[in-house]
Structure 1
């Protein structure tokens, strides 16, 4: 079975668009967990465009209370600034089960590429710091990267395959080549001793095809599509639909 971690960033986007506390990110996360989600993911950014550091603390308390996984994503090289203490500092305060390192810049609308392992050595001390905090460490990678196995030599436990290109190919009606690429990437990762996660633009429409073609995916992190679908079907019902797909 593949675990489902629900990314609640989009709940915070809606809240921040108006100010105040509604919709409540923690209440939404609690609803997802009540429906059976295996964990909660957040991706705090330095510009506080969605999840805030305060949300991270509150969600860490919720997931600890429920005994489920908390996954914090982010760029470990983004420097601290007012309202954002930095990824490693947030992990030190909350001790998430997993820290997913993503090479996104401040100006990016969303994460859209994996790490360039030609510059991977700078990740090594950060991975060591996070593992010393008790975090499992996953690196965001492109399926076509020839150096996926290097994530293991740097000390990472898992990789998260960036599935945006697969989702785009699936939507165009011709996903076979993309599925073969991702299946090969997963095999290479596992051969290097890495666990495999996946995320980005996965949805009810494309998730099952992906999991059927790419075996042994340990976890999918899904936010944008799931929250969008929940506007029509309700959050509880939508999470349950995803759980049926990953079972």
Structure 2
């Protein structure tokens, strides 16, 4: 598992604990906390990693000399030292259910699943009822997952990895045709998932598997998130639009 974190003092411990408590054989689960933090999150991560390591978990904090490439850079930097064949990714505001891996990993191992490159779960909303803003975001995201993602899959269309709450087949990321994590867009998740599908890998959306997360509760945070998503999507369109159209 890879957990990219940057200055997330309020939620880092919750995320690490949730991942450490996953119902999965400990000898088959490695947790990499990709900590690019510059505040007291560093101390929180170190304390959590030390505790869960003392409990028998395979968990490490991975830190880089610089934040080059931001999230995509962190994911790419840590991948060579990852030990697993499948890479689950969770952002700091997520809290995966204990059965998440048991409900996703089998989809890579079933007969005929050799070309499944990534599995995406539906996002849940921990703070849906906090305010009208979070309720509105939850409604929009529910539509995106239950209608758009499910519809694209049913129609055999390309669809994107949502950046968190999903699992990648490692060989898909490392496939030379796919090109791995790249840092030239703000939506590294959309970029990689489209390149993987153009290379022949197959995506799988699981509407019945829910990955709970917090929605931005403040308007400014929501605006920043939407700006990143919009800009990154446009960058990906410019980068891959021609190949997708063909």
TM over 0.5: no
The alignment's TM-score, normalised by the length of structure 1, stands at 0.30
The alignment's TM-score, normalised by the length of structure 2, stands at 0.30
